[in-house]
Structure 1
Amino acid sequence: MISANRATTVNKTDGLPLPKRYWAILATALGVGMSVIDGTIANVALPTIARDLGTEPSVTIWVVNAYQLAITISLLSFSSLGDIYGYRRIYLSGIAVFSVTSLICALSDSFWTLTAARIMQGFGAAAITSVNTALLRIIYPKKFLGRGMGINALVVAVSIAAGPTIASAILSLGSWHWLFAINVPFGIAALVIGISHLPGNPVKVYGRRFDKVSCLMNALTFGLLIFSLEGIAHKQSVVLVIGGIVALGIIGYFFVRRQLRQRFPLLPVDLMRIPIFSLSIGTSISSFTAQMLAMISLPFFLQNTLGRSDVATGLLLTPWPLATMIMAPTAGRLVEKIHPGILGGIGMGIFATGLFLLATLPVHPTDMDIIWRLFVCGAGFGLFQTPNNSTIISSAPTNRSGGASGMLGTARLLGQTLGATLVAMIFNLMPSNSTHACLYLATGFAVIAAIVSCLRISQPRPLKGTECQESSATDLQKRKSSG
């Protein structure tokens, strides 16, 4: 009776009133922006960090990989904790952890200290990312939810692409340590604003407990997946790699089997039975793999092959986020009239074209040769990202927003981690022509993403608001009952 009364009271509230909503949006944008930017901001400085700390380029990439791996293995667990204990609490805890560990990164004087701090920073970022979209469903009124998703997609897309540009500006004034120190004041601001203005969960599922076994199995599954990929990339012992793959198969099998029996699965396999949801997740993984292949390999090419400074490298990469900033809001409006499968296919087609053009640069390219090709990449990715993210969230029932948010973040981070791992693998296998190989492979992943996106055209467009919730819930129940 108590839970019913609470739910009824909350359901009468449709989003936050103004201007409180603006402050809540700012709190989420600051947190998500910092966590996403830190996934790419160190890319430009990797050659400098390698020289400063005396490590090889293929080893230094772990500064990026450690961060991405920590997020990937823990994001779904934090998403589940958000459903149980409140999105606001998990989000603010993530901001606090992220800020403290950013300071530790800034004070690091060795590769291992920096890597360990990056792992902890990744856990903080996972807590932030896991519940961000779920918070948006509370912050915005239902009729404006699409705008919220568009703003969030814009923040994520621009943050990913803007990392090199921001890094360039910071490196022009100080050492690479400031790449992490800059997070501290922004983290404090996000924490203060969030404590004052972020809402709590509108509905709490009573009697639900955190599944610790699934949490462990989730971490082992994704951890073994990355371990196996890294083992292949760095030419580790064949026995060790095969052992990791076998362990991955066994643990992964029992993990998925356990999730199929859960009422509230940590890994939302039930949502994957919605065709447009699963296709959108697959498209997201492929697109971010392609983006990471380019964003990590290009700085090495620009600095080591073309002789550009780290500051010039960041400036040359600036057209990518600028193009994304232009196209992402436009895509948010277009998706109201055009099927997201069509928009995504066109966007990824443009993205693949830009990547191929980068791979076929002249031997001695001018700055303009590089700039306009990067602009094409950013425009294509911006046209794709907003409709794709909106489709993932809107195709899931409202009461499964936590799971959908977790899967959206997991798809992005899995793609980024896979892309970073593939860069390390290619750098080891083809040290003389590695960047071009990375760009050709990125083109292939973008083409795959375009094809998968076009497959969604046969699926009905996600509905909006309450109608979406009821339709998705009914469809999900039918799929469950049909086995």
Structure 2
Amino acid sequence: MRRTHLAFGFVLIGLWAVVLESMAVTVALPAIASDFAIPASTATWVVGMSQFIIVALLLPMAALGEAIGIRRLYVIGLLVFAVMSVACILTPSFAALVIARAFQAVGTAAVMSINFALARVLYPSKSLGTAIGIMATSVAIATTAGPALAGVLLEISGWRAVFLLMLVCSVIGGIGAAILLPPNQPSNRRYDLQDAVLVALTLVCVLYVLNGLAAGWSRGMIAAAAIGAIAGFVRLTRVSRGKVGAVFPLDLLALPVFNLSVVAAIFAFAAQSVGFIFLPFYLVLDAGLSPMDMAIVLSVWPFSTALLAPVLGWMSDRLPAGPIGAVGLFVFAAGFVLLALMPPDVGAAGVALRLAACGIGFAAFQTPNNRLVMLSAPPDRSGAASGVISLARQFGRALGTAIAAVLLAAAPAGATTAMTVAAGLALVGATAAVLRARAIRDRTAH
């Protein structure tokens, strides 16, 4: 058991590397733009392009992990990530940096697609919720601390030091995982490269539509991408039906507990994204907080999630996870309602209490929900289930960003409306969670 815990610790270190990949690099964008004398809008390609590649490859990488073994894919993914971190550190030009980041995103997708599957390999079902809760805490800490660490490194040594931090985490995580992770048998199923390419192109089209709506891109291009996404999904549904281990996991999405959990996750992350985008505007423009006070108040949300995720994971191993997740989403929605009803003079403490309700509710939903998704899939489909969890998070955030952009265009200071919309999104997720509880009862009865 000691070896198992140590192996899991190295998995978390590797996960830190890929979380920093987006959070820390975003903070470094102004320094990168200044160093290469490029416009800020051009510098955002370092992050934006990476997002497209990661989303496109999550399901193909998950299927590849099942085919060759998730331990092998995890180590290879961190190796690619580490090598490309070195390339980013040594890059002589912005174009070379963009290319290195593109290949680094491939490694990120490999790691993100199977991290929950690794937890299932390491721990039995009775402990899986606790492991997933610890993983959620680790991600929350990395998400919160990443920008601060990046800021310190930028101040001391410049933007290349940010990639050095990612390199160190990926090397430590990769070596530890290679030594300590137990070997798992690959499925020996043939990897369908044609389906993998189709899945990637379809997901890129969906993400383009969501980002295009958020950024006001060409309507013609958005319409073309939407048509491509629909055509891709229709084709994938046809070729994946009845296929064992398909890249597009139609076999898993046909399971009521699985698909309702995924729907709940998408809407929960969409609500979270709307809140994260609008709250800084409200706290600075309406509540009159300084940027420092705003940062402290906003940290209450991820801190609450990080603190409670392991506890709620432990509870989900011992109590029915479905009701816990449903109650969590109702608390999450209630937090947004309280934010929408805030009086103008509520003060920082009042906002913090409401954000704590959001963080607690989200933690109560996320960990039990991820546990249900993983355990509703057969063991040999753990890679695909893990990939779907990561994909739901990415698409939920993209959907929330698109909704927030529409709201900002309609009413730039409409925080009350935004919090009401976020509450509505959370309630849609809660409805899916309630329906899931009914599906679990029906499955148990049979």
TM norm structure 1: 0.79
Cα shift readout 1:375-424 (whole Å, capped 9, x = no counterpart): 11111111111111111111111222222222222222221232334444
Distance in 2 of aligned mates of 1:62 and 1:440: 32
Distance in 2 of aligned mates of 1:312 and 1:48: 24
Aligned counterpart for 2:219 among listed residues 232, 238, 241: 238
The aligned residue for residue 96 of structure 1 is 79
Query: How far 1:123 moved relative to its partner?
Result: 2.1
Q: Is contact 2:18–2:166 with CA below 8 Å preserved after alignment?
A: no
Please say if 1:129 is aligned against 2:109. no
Please say if 1:443 is aligned against 2:443. no
Comparing 396-405 and 162-171, the one that deviates more: 162-171
Q: Is contact 2:28–2:150 with CA below 8 Å preserved after alignment?
A: no
Query: How far 1:34 moved relative to its partner?
Result: 3.0
Q: Is contact 1:68–1:416 with CA below 8 Å preserved after alignment?
A: no
Please say if 1:323 is aligned against 2:308. no
Q: Is contact 2:270–2:396 with CA below 8 Å preserved after alignment?
A: yes
Q: Is contact 1:40–1:64 with CA below 8 Å preserved after alignment?
A: no
> Which ranges of structure 1 fall in alignment gaps of 5 or more residues?
1-17, 464-470, 476-483
Aligned counterpart for 1:291 among listed residues 272, 277, 296: 272
Find the residue that maps to 1:270 and give its secondary structure: helix
Aligned counterpart for 2:250 among listed residues 248, 256, 269: 269
The aligned residue for residue 334 of structure 1 is 315
Find the residue that maps to 1:335 and give its secondary structure: helix
Aligned counterpart for 1:260 among listed residues 218, 235, 241: 241
Please say if 1:409 is aligned against 2:390. yes
Q: Is contact 2:260–2:436 with CA below 8 Å preserved after alignment?
A: yes
Change (3 A) 1:295 1:164: farther
Which amino acid in the other structure matches residue 182 of structure 2? P
Q: Is contact 2:57–2:106 with CA below 8 Å preserved after alignment?
A: yes
Aligned counterpart for 2:433 among listed residues 431, 437, 453: 453
The aligned residue for residue 387 of structure 1 is 368
The aligned residue for residue 179 of structure 2 is 196
Q: Is contact 2:132–2:310 with CA below 8 Å preserved after alignment?
A: no
Q: Is contact 2:66–2:380 with CA below 8 Å preserved after alignment?
A: no
Distance in 2 of aligned mates of 1:443 and 1:62: 32
Which amino acid in the other structure matches residue 170 of structure 2? G
Distance in 1 of aligned mates of 2:28 and 2:332: 25
The aligned residue for residue 205 of structure 1 is 187
Cα shift readout 1:90-135 (whole Å, capped 9, x = no counterpart): 1012112223444555678998776655543332121012222332
Q: Is contact 1:332–1:386 with CA below 8 Å preserved after alignment?
A: yes
Distance in 2 of aligned mates of 1:229 and 1:174: 32
Distance in 1 of aligned mates of 2:146 and 2:335: 22
The aligned residue for residue 481 of structure 1 is none
The aligned residue for residue 40 of structure 2 is 55
The aligned residue for residue 468 of structure 1 is none
Change (3 A) 1:350 1:336: same
Q: Is contact 1:279–1:456 with CA below 8 Å preserved after alignment?
A: yes
The aligned residue for residue 34 of structure 1 is 17
The aligned residue for residue 147 of structure 2 is 167
Please say if 1:20 is aligned against 2:9. no
Aligned-residue CA RMSD in angstroms? Answer: 3.4
Which amino acid in the other structure matches residue 174 of structure 1? L
TM norm structure 2: 0.85
Aligned residues: 439
Please say if 1:224 is aligned against 2:209. no
Distance in 1 of aligned mates of 2:63 and 2:215: 34
Comparing 341-350 and 61-70, the one that deviates more: 61-70
Please say if 1:281 is aligned against 2:262. yes
Distance in 2 of aligned mates of 1:255 and 1:173: 45
Which amino acid in the other structure matches residue 213 of structure 1? Q
Aligned counterpart for 1:151 among listed residues 131, 139, 149: 131
Change (3 A) 1:155 1:300: farther
Change (3 A) 1:352 1:396: same
Query: How far 1:214 moved relative to its partner?
Result: 0.5
Which amino acid in the other structure matches residue 368 of structure 1? A
Find the residue that maps to 1:263 and give its secondary structure: coil
Change (3 A) 1:129 1:234: closer
Distance in 1 of aligned mates of 2:164 and 2:147: 12
Q: Is contact 1:76–1:403 with CA below 8 Å preserved after alignment?
A: yes
Distance in 1 of aligned mates of 2:318 and 2:355: 28
Distance in 2 of aligned mates of 1:35 and 1:100: 13
Comparing 293-302 and 381-390, the one that deviates more: 293-302
Query: How far 1:37 moved relative to its partner?
Result: 4.8
Query: How far 1:216 moved relative to its partner?
Result: 0.8
Find the residue that maps to 2:154 and give its secondary structure: coil
Change (3 A) 1:133 1:266: same
Distance in 1 of aligned mates of 2:340 and 2:83: 40
Distance in 1 of aligned mates of 2:197 and 2:382: 22
Distance in 1 of aligned mates of 2:422 and 2:91: 33
Which amino acid in the other structure matches residue 454 of structure 1? V
Change (3 A) 1:396 1:445: same
Change (3 A) 1:297 1:33: farther
Comparing 171-180 and 260-269, the one that deviates more: 171-180
Q: Is contact 1:285–1:415 with CA below 8 Å preserved after alignment?
A: yes
